[in-house]
Structure 1
Amino acid sequence: MQQVCIYPKEAAAVTGTKYSTARALLQRIRAHYAKPARAYVSIAEFCQYTHLPEAEVARALNRS
């Protein structure tokens, strides 16, 4: 089963940033999509916001 949402630790690994920076990025994504503070961020939303190819992000997450 493929993963649907992305967590700060994984966002940090994909973007090459620190955990706190990745957490702030996910907060900005939630604000952009008008989601509640504790809502999950999908991989598709993450990729649309960061302009990263979804296939590459999914591949990187499934290797972890």
Structure 2
Amino acid sequence: MNRLCIYPKEVATITGKSLSSSRALIRLIKDAHGKSKRQLVTIKEFCDYEGLPYEEVFNMINKVPYAIEH
């Protein structure tokens, strides 16, 4: 089963930011979407906010192997 949510540790890995900066970014995304502290941020919300390609981030988080193109 694939995950739909993203956590600060993954944000740090993807963006190269520190864990504390990644937590702050998650808070900004929650604020932008009117979410409470307890609600999770989806991969799509993160990608839309950061302007990143959803499929690539989703596949990376869910460890989906990339197809090799020739």
TM-score (norm 2): 0.84
Aligned residues: CA RMSD: 0.8
Equivalent position of 1:34 in the other structure: 34
| 2: CA distance, partners of 1:38 / 1:18 | 22
Q: Structure 1 residue 62: deviation in Å? A: 2.3
Deviations 1:24-54 (A, max 9, x none): 0000000000000121000010011000000
Report sequence identity in percent. Answer: 44
Higher helix share: 1
Q: How many residues align?
A: 63
Equivalent position of 1:56 in the other structure: 56
**Structure with more relative contact order (C-alpha pairs < 8 Å, separation 6 or more):** 1
Q: Which has the larger radius of gyration?
A: 2
Q: Which runs of 4+ in 1 moved over 2 A?
A: none
TM-score (norm 1): 0.91
Structure 2, gaps ≥5 residues long:
64-70
